[in-house]
Structure 1
Amino acid sequence: MELSIAALAGNLLAPTILFFILGLLAAVAKSDLSIPEGAAKIMSIYLLLAIGFKGGVAVAQSGIDAQLIAALGAGVVLSFVLPFAAYGLLRIMTKLDDLNAAAVAGHYGSISIVTFVTAVSLLEARGIASEGYLVAVAAVMEVPAIISALWIAARKGGVTAVDCSLFRHILGNGSIVLLIGSFAIGAITGEAGLNDLHPFIVVPFTGVLAVFLLDMGLSAGRSLLENRKDISIGLLGFGCVMPLVGALLGLALAKLVGLSAGGSFLLMVLSASASYIAVPAAMKLALPRAKSGIYLTLALGVTFPFNLTLGMPIYFLLANL
């Protein structure tokens, strides 16, 4: 595979990434461009369904083996460990108090499914194969990070109350349910199911992703503008450095498990991303005194754009070395 600067720059020139940049610029320019909330929700459902289903079909074709189990284990380990690395980095780079640092740290052990979907789309556009079961790895990386963040907060006296209802809320998150459910359906129906849904699952995927990333660009830009007073230079730096730390840890475990170059790239993307859906909902319940404007803006307004524009070309290069 050609590892030239031109090849890496091609990621930045993908239509999906350029639509994200368009949304970001429109938000910064305070344009009235917007995507209806209902339409954005439908696109989110479609993308989760499509990526989960295709991952399940890939597992049906390859079968369940030791490498799949090892990859799931690697995902759980990364999700548990990354919040501790993020917390340590926050204490060094920023002046955040213990409670807010713990809340932010939890986001960086969990994952951004939209970043993952974009990475999968880029690999498919370049004809690069990857392990389909990494969709399942993405799903198992949601909860462990929340547990780590709450443990850190509890050590600092920041948790008011944690009970079973919190974890029922997390496990019942619509994104997780849809991703795992569509993955299971794809694994059950296999190639025949993919053939039946091909015009729906495969053909419109890139176009839907482009419009959805346009909306994400708008959201990221507006979040930055609205909460810019809470985001210091140190926090901005953390939002760009922590993804690199996560990606390197992801690469180490990917090589240990024996993933392909494409699979290593995807695990790096998962490790580098930050949740802005499941974890914020959990933090609002468990750590209500933490400032949502800080952790949401970092995850969506700083790390998400960094990964889509600069991070993924770097991870792509490292995964192929």
Structure 2
Amino acid sequence: MILSTLTSPIILFFALGMLAGFARSDLVIPEAFAKGMAIYLMAAIGLKGGVEVSNSGLTDALLIAGAAGMALSFLLPLPAFAALRSIGGLKRVDAAAVAAHYGSVSLVTFITANEMLKGAGLPAAGFMVAVLALMETPAIITGLLLARRGSSDTGVASKGLWHEVLLNASVVLLVGAFVIGVIAGEKGFAPIKPVFDGGYKGVLCLFLLDMGLIAARRLRETRALTLRLSLLAIGLPLINGLIGVAIGSALGLDLGTAALLGVLTASASYIAVPAAMRLALPEADPGIYLSMSLGITFPFNIVVNIALIAAVARMMG
């Protein structure tokens, strides 16, 4: 699977973006077009997940996976925080901000893994898009509690923060599209399927080209990363991914769904959590948490870790 991953158009477009970014090419994806692609991808994955749930109904597997995902999102920032403090040498507020990223999830990693697992013969259940939405917020709460522990500031989150966390664009669009898919079902989805299914992989390739450009430029420009933090940006997704797969397998989820749960626990947010951290912890250094999550963990997951997680899921299965 690693070989097929490295030769797939999705990964090759991401690699092209990384190479162009490091080479200081003037290749740029217009911001408005990039936002349009992100909206399309979120709507498509939400719709398709909702249609799958409409076909299968509210199952025990959905409830089990959702509860496991939320618990993992709450708990994974705790060991990450300890490692970032002891090994990474970060001060409390920076360690808490980074830890929140590694308990939350990455939509693009989820979308990419979903397609790669299908290509490897490990399709995941459609309800995992609901699990994705459930896992986005709990880690933010844990990160804020870690940052505020022992502080005289007892207002962990302002009204503006909760609005940002619960009503940010990705959550609204994902959950909204998922609900539309559940209501519409297979029959209602059929007329729009050519738009949201036919062009999906092509748009994903272009979107990952843009993400490669951003990741490379973030790495090229940052001065905040040390060797220890760089190693943690690889070690945390490795360990978290194994934990997610092991729990998914122990709970009786099928191979593809357990693997995708592992991918979610291995991913690191670089959209929702940074926005929340800017509101709640403005004193935290974005050069650290963005460089780790987007500059190192995201490329590592896309190129290497998804395939490793799939292999572990097969072994456990």
CA distance in 2, matches of 1:177, 1:10: 34
Counterpart of 2:307, as a letter, is P
Question: Which of 137, 140, 143 in structure 2 is aligned with 1:143?
Answer: 137
Partner of 1:209 in structure 2?
A: 204
How far 1:91 moved relative to its partner? 2.1
What residue in structure 1 maps to residue 259 of structure 2? 265
> Is the alpha carbon distance of 1:206 and 1:155 closer, same or farther for their aligned partners in structure 2, counting shifts above 3 Å?
same
1:256 to 240, 243, 250: 250
Q: CA deviation at 1:156?
A: 4.6
The answer to whether the Cα contact below 8 Å between 1:160 and 1:287 also exists between their aligned partners in 2 is: no
Contact 1:24 1:220 in 2 (8 A): yes
What residue is the counterpart of 1:181 in the other structure?
Answer: 176
Map 1:73-84 onto structure 2 (within 5 A): 73-84=67-78
Aligned to 1:122: 116
Which range moved further: 83-92 or 269-278?
83-92
- 1:157-236 to structure 2, matched below 5 A, reads 157=151, 161=155, 162-227=157-222, 229-236=223-230
Q: What residue identity is the alignment partner of 2:13?
A: F
Q: Secondary structure at the match of 2:24?
A: coil
* Contact preservation (8 Å) 1:99, 1:158: no
Q: Would the aligned equivalents of 2:160 and 2:279 in 1 still touch at CA under 8 Å?
A: no
Aligned match of 2:146: 152
Identity %: 48
Alpha-carbon distance, 1:257 to partner: 2.4
Partner of 1:57: 51
The aligned residue for residue 36 of structure 1 is: 30
**Superposition deviation, residue 137 in structure 1:** 0.3
**Once the two structures are superposed, what CA deviation does each residue of 1:284-317 show, in whole Å capped at 9, x if it has no partner?**
1111100011101111001000000111111010
SS of the equivalent of 2:203 reads helix
Query: Please, which of 293, 297, 300 is the counterpart of residue 291 of structure 2?
Result: 297
Mark the runs of 5 or more structure 2 residues left unpaired by the alignment.
none
- Residues of 1 paired with 2:112 and 2:150: CA distance? 37
Superimposed CA distance per residue, residues 80-120 of structure 1 (whole angstroms, 9 cap, x where no aligned partner): 01110211121232111111001100000000000000011
Cα displacement string for residues 155-194 of structure 1 (whole angstroms, at most 9, x for unaligned residues): 1539684223311221110011000010111111111123
TM-score if structure 2 supplies the norm length? 0.96
In structure 2, which of residues 297, 310, 314 is the aligned counterpart of residue 316 of structure 1? 310
Residue 238 of structure 1: how far off its partner (Å): 0.5
What is the TM-score when the length of structure 1 is the normalising length?
A: 0.95
What residue identity is the alignment partner of 2:297? T
How many corresponding residue pairs?
314
Partner-residue secondary structure (3-state), 1:46: helix
Report the Cα distance in structure 1 between the residues aligned to 2:27 and 2:312, rounded to whole angstroms.
37
Map of 1:3 onto structure 2: none
Tell me the CA shift for residue 126 of structure 1.
3.7
Q: Is the 8 A contact 1:50 1:201 kept in 2?
A: yes
Alpha carbons of 1:203 and 1:283: their partners in 2 closer, same or farther (altered >3 Å)?
same
What are structure 1's unaligned runs of at least 5 residues? Answer: 1-6
Mapped to 2, the partners of 1:20 and 1:159 lie a distance apart of 42
- Residue identity opposite 2:206 in structure 1: V
Aligned partner of 1:86 in structure 2 is: 80
Query: CA 1:86 to 1:76, structure 2 compared with 1: closer, same or farther past 3 Å?
Result: same
Superposed CA offset, 1:264-285 (max 9, x none): 1111110000000100011111
Q: Aligned-residue CA RMSD in angstroms?
A: 1.3
Asked whether the 8 Å contact 1:8–1:317 carries over to 2, the reply is no
